[in-house]
Amino acid sequence: MSHTFGGRNARDLARSIESAVHSGSLQPGDSLPPIRELATSTGLSPVTVAAAYRRLQSRGIVVGRGRRGTLVRPNPASPAAPLDQRPAPDGLFDLAGGNPDPALLPPFSPASFRLSSSARLYGDSPVNSALGTFAAGEFAADDVDASHLAVTSGALDGMERLFREHLRPGDRIAVEDPSAAAILDLVGGCGFNALALEIDADGLRPDSLSAALAHGARCVVMTPRAQNPTGAALSKARASDLARVMKGRDNVLLIENDPAGPVAGASYLTITTGLRRWALVRSVSKFLGPDLRLALVVGDELTIARVQGRQSLGVRWVSHVLQELTLALWSDPSSGRRLAQAADAYAARRRALTDALGQRGITIDARSGFNVWVPVREETAVVQRLAARGWAVAAGERLRIRSVPGIRITTSTLPVVRAAQLADDIVLALRPSMPQA
């Protein structure tokens, strides 16, 4: 398809290309014209066109691929909601959304009566002291130093602040492959380049981490448990191996992402001990509720100071109403029992599906979290076949960089008694597209 781009300067040219991406006339994966060719057609200088392309890359719209030129990102930053973030079609059992089970989340109403009636004013501490103390105890139980702690508006907000304060557009961030689509979107949307990290059931592979560091990764994002979409969880041996790889990497920021916290179904193993630059981001969304939009970020002193310093220039703090509500929900005397029951329920639902698949010859090792990853040859075809049988699952295209195609199945709300039927339907859907051994 032919496109007409133009403008008087780099800013105008970048806007015209961005408009084409947002309107859909430029699709993910489409190539932009070579710099000299576009310079000739627009009457601008090659330097101006190159500057426009750099603007687009810093905004997460395009990515440079060397000899392949400049391409629209697979997941360009856009105001439109990605397909995998939209509700499942009516009539389908939703196993695509990645959400917790609402029935296993605590009710807000009783906790709301425990909120303080005192007003918070400018100049107050950005972190509720009681929440900070309670959270520090939770981190200490996982052998994580919480001497320096910030509160952000969810895990992605925390990660974005960490990226912005440590990196520059164009820097390389090593991320698990496959990974949560939101993390890949964030990396691209902030103008960084993602390096794929291979994972298995024990988590991130040390050889892949070593290779990424050798290729100039300035930041590593890893998920020690409840990895989305695979359900991987670090083993003690793997954590020890990864810690050795990271030792002495003082110029690399390690970010551990803990999306499910106490309902992950696996113990937390950290490799941050002894590192110079590190952070752990623990969201409360999966065990207290996504609408709280709150995450706790701990790390080394400078890293947390940078996060809080940037907050002070913008949002200033996360609402103390939300912080107090989080504390009330999390520290309730019945909280430990409730969270343990939720963790057991999620584990039972996940195992019901993996066991049923195993009985049908499909071995899936998902040890924690809400999701199961099933490799396939043709994602769209399998998703459509399962939809025809009443199941909504997520195609893996937006969750991977170089890894083999697959589908993500969120088991958090899957009744154990329906796991066998789903496994039967998966087998039928896979038959025309089973990967070759």
How far apart CA 114 and CA 112 sit, in angstroms, is: 5
C-alpha triplet 162, 167, 173: angle, nearest 5°? 85
What is the DSSP code (8-state) at residue 99? Answer: P
Which CATH fold topology does 10-72 show?
A: Arc Repressor Mutant, subunit A (1.10.10)
Q: Give me the pLDDT at residue 63, please.
A: 80
Where would I find the H helices in 314-432? 320-331, 335-359, 379-388, 419-430
- Say if residues 387 and 164 touch (Cβ distance below 8 Å): no
Q: Quick one: tokens of 276? A: 């110079």
> Does the bond joining 375 to the residue before it have cis omega, within 30 degrees of 0?
no
Helices H / strands E in the chain, number of each: 14, 15
Contacts of 389 by beta carbon, 8 Å cutoff, 6+ apart? 425, 428, 429
Residues of the chain with CATH 1.10.10.10: 10-72
Instruction: Tell me the C-alpha distance between 188 and 422, whole Å.
Output: 34
* Long-range CB contacts (within 8 A, 24+) of 127-133: 127/151, 127/317, 127/323, 128/320, 128/323, 128/324, 128/327, 130/324, 130/327, 131/323, 131/324, 131/326, 131/327
Q: Which helix (H) or strand (E) holds 394?
A: strand 394-395
CA distances from 287 to 66, 380, 415 (A): 43, 31, 19
Residues 297, 278 contacting (CB under 8 angstroms): no
pLDDT for 74: 74
Instruction: Report the length, in residues, of the chain.
Output: 437
Closest CA to 15 of 6, 26, 27: 6
Q: Which residue has the tokens 């890359």?
A: 57
CATH code at 83-103+336-433 = 3.90.1150.10
Classified as helix, coil or strand, 267 is coil
231 and 371 Cβ atoms separated by less than 8 Å: yes
Tell me if the domain spanning 112-331 has CATH number 3.50.50.60.
no
Helix (H) or strand (E) holding 195: strand 193-200
Q: Alpha-carbon dihedral of residues 195, 201, 202, 207, nearest 10 degrees?
A: -40
> Dihedral sign, CA of 429, 345, 85, 193?
negative
How far is residue 21's CA from residue 134's CA, in Å, rounded to a whole number?
46
Q: Any idea what DSSP says for residue 409? A: E
pTM: 0.85
Question: Angle, to 10 degrees, between the axis of helix 419-430 and the axis of helix 379-388?
Answer: 130
Q: Average pLDDT of each block of 10 consecutive residues along the chain (437 residues)?
A: 77 89 85 90 90 84 80 70 60 94 91 76 89 96 96 96 92 97 90 94 98 98 98 98 97 98 98 97 97 96 94 90 94 90 98 98 96 96 96 94 95 98 97 53
The span from the CA of 120 to the CA of 312, in Å, is 15
Question: Residue 107: is the preceding peptide bond cis (ω within 30°)?
Answer: no
- HSE toward the beta carbon, residue 374, CA cutoff 13 A: 32
pLDDT for 381 equals 94
What are the start and end residues of each CATH 3.90.1150.10 domain in the chain?
Answer: 83-103+336-433
